[in-house]
Amino acid sequence: MIKKYYQYINEANEENENKESFISDELKDEIKSLIKKTIKNSGGEYKSFIDKFIKSPEDVKIEGLINDSDIYDFYLKYRNDIDELLNNINYFDEIPSESNTFGLYDYIINGTERAIKEVVKEL
């Protein structure tokens, strides 16, 4: 049976609504290891670091994800997982100018940072 495009999209949306946000174990493990590396170098406790990061991600930085170039490299390495996560949280439906994102590079950095925040919330 051939489906019309809007039927296909509606079915895909229903499937996404029925399943929880999917975050790959590989992505979680990488962020966990970066957080542990940060804690090892600067001290602290894992749970308190996670809590601080969730409350104020602008003030708490994860080693290896500080510079825009590092974040971009992280995106390139995990782009499929990050894109899927961002799609699940409807990031691509948001207007970029509302988050002061006016270039493609900034959009990638902003999206990757948002995905990292979502992963940390799940840890």
pLDDT bin (cut points 50, 70, 90) of residue 41 is confident
Tens-digit pLDDT profile for residues 70-98: 999 999 999 999 999 999 888 888 888 88
Tens-digit pLDDT profile for residues 6-17: 666 666 666 555
**Is 60:52 a contact under the CB 8 Å cutoff?**
yes
* pLDDT of 106: 92
Rounded (10°) angle between helices 68-77 and 104-122: 70
> What pTM value is reported for the model?
0.77
**Rounded CA separation 32/38 (Å):** 10
Q: What percent of the chain has pLDDT over 90?
A: 47
